[in-house]
Amino acid sequence: MELLKRLCEAPGIPGYEAKVRTIVEEDLEGYVDSIETDALGNVIAHRSGEGPVVVLAGHMDEIGFFVSHIEEKTGFLRINPVGGFDPINLVAQRVVVHTETGDLVGCIGRKAVHILTDEEKKKPLEVRDLFVDVGLPVEKVAATVRIGDSVTLRQDFVELGDLVSCKALDDRAGVYVGMEAIKRAKNPACDLYFVGTTQEEVGLRGAQVAGFATRPQIGIALDVTIAADTPSVEPKDRVTQLGKGVAIKVRDSASISHPALVRAMRRIAEENGIPYQMEILPRGGTDAGALQMAQEGAAVITLSIPTRYVHSVVEALHPDDLEATIQLLVAFIENADKIDLAG
């Protein structure tokens, strides 16, 4: 969990994943034959072997912002979102503004409820109306902060009962299980890659080029998925549930998992007593959507980690589901030469 904590607490909006990449590089050293970084910042770790080319991909970026404007008279910052936010999740949060000369802590403030008019209370929140307060006089802000500085949400990694909770579990949890799998696999029956991808949240951009560099025959995206196992959600709308195991994705809006891979994952999970659940996600996508269209095409699937409150700073998941995901990945990797994609 120490590695997951470090991954989650590191900042990295799309295009600015360097700090996460460093953790991946340092941790995987000695476990793989090579680690390279490409022009888009993808980190590509390779354990060469015989058998099909299998590429695991987890995205290193998290949703965040760029500073888009500095209020001339007051020094409050306006922000431009990178990734899909529900603005209600942003109000009253702490952020970090990453400037060239160091980090500034800030907060996203809003008029106190005491002075909100009835009309203001009813008006839907929009990110463009929000502002960041770094608590400094305007001259100091103007001298430190630049348009284009990245801004991340700030939240510590905590245990929440049986769960763990932090910002950016989307998708540091996927990065974590991919790293653990490539380290733990004893006898990979494949030519194995793990890619920490970039810019997933703005359109699977890193995975698209990583798919060309690695030429996967089998691509496995590792990402969180919705666990709406919370009050006021009907069972048919839950997607997945926490603590019920790794989610084997059938489809989302970016990819349809290869039926032979869906069957193989289910069979391997059953043979090894690994808890799993099936997942159909009506909206959203993963790096599998890009990997399947690299080169002449690849068979893809996503293994998902059920997560509550996705795209908020209180994202929460069950460590048992992480473990199930790692175990299924390792078992798959060690049997990859027996997968019949035509069958």
Q: Which is nearer to Zn ion, 171 or 315 (CB)?
A: 171
Contact positions with Zn ion (CB under 5 A) in 101-160? none
Binding segment (CB under 5 A) for Zn ion, from list 97-105, 136-144, 166-174, 204-212: 166-174
Half-sphere exposure of 286 (CA within 13 A, CB side): 34
Which of the residues 9, 200, 201, 279 is marked catalytic? 200
Binding segment (CB under 5 A) for Zn ion, from list 49-57, 73-81, 216-224, 261-269: 216-224
In the list Zn ion, Co ion, none, the entry touching 223 (Cβ below 5 to 8 angstroms by class) is: Zn ion
Among 223, 252, 279, 321, interactor with Zn ion by CB under 5 A: 223
Q: Are 35 and 44 in contact (CB under 8 A)?
A: yes
Q: Are 98 and 152 in contact (CB under 8 A)?
A: yes
Q: Rounded to the nearest whole angstrom, what is the least distance from the CB of residue 88 to Co ion in the complex? A: 17
Mark whether 139 is an active-site residue. no
Q: Rounded to the nearest whole angstrom, what is the least distance from the CB of residue 311 to Co ion in the complex? A: 6
**Residue 61 interacting with Co ion (CB under 5 A):** no
Contact positions with Co ion (CB under 5 A) in 254-283? none
Bridge partners for 304 per DSSP = 223, 247
Contact positions with Co ion (CB under 5 A) in 152-211? 170
To which H or E segment does residue 165 belong? strand 163-166
Q: Rounded to the nearest whole angstrom, what is the least distance from the CB of residue 257 to Zn ion in the complex? A: 16
Alpha helices in the chain (DSSP H): 2-9, 18-28, 118-122, 138-144, 169-184, 205-214, 259-271, 288-291, 319-334
Dist. CA 317–CA 306, nearest whole Å:
6
**Residue 315 interacting with Zn ion (CB under 5 A):** no
Q: Rounded to the nearest whole angstrom, what is the least distance from the CB of residue 317 to Co ion in the complex? A: 13
Q: Rounded to the nearest whole angstrom, what is the least distance from the CB of residue 172 to Zn ion in the complex? A: 9
Site string for Co ion, 114-153 (x = CB under 5 A): ----------------------------------------
**Residue 61 interacting with Zn ion (CB under 5 A):** no
Site string for Zn ion, 170-189 (x = CB under 5 A): xx------------------
Dist. CA 199–CA 111, nearest whole Å:
33
Single-letter residue type at 314: V
Packing angle, helices 18-28 and 2-9, rounded to 10: 160
Kindly report the number of other CB atoms within 10 A of residue 111's CB atom.
Answer: 10
Single-letter residue type at 342: A
Bridge partners for 235 per DSSP = none
- State the residue number with the nearest CB to Co ion: 170
**Residue 62 interacting with Co ion (CB under 5 A):** no
Closest CA to 93 of 146, 147, 130: 130
Q: Which is nearer to Zn ion, 90 or 141 (CB)?
A: 90
3-state percent breakdown (helix, strand, coil) of the chain, nearest 5: 30, 30, 40
Bridge partners for 315 per DSSP = 166
Binding site for Co ion (CB under 5 A): 170
Q: What is the binding site for Zn ion (CB under 5 A)?
A: 170-171, 223
Q: Which residues are known to be catalytic?
A: 200
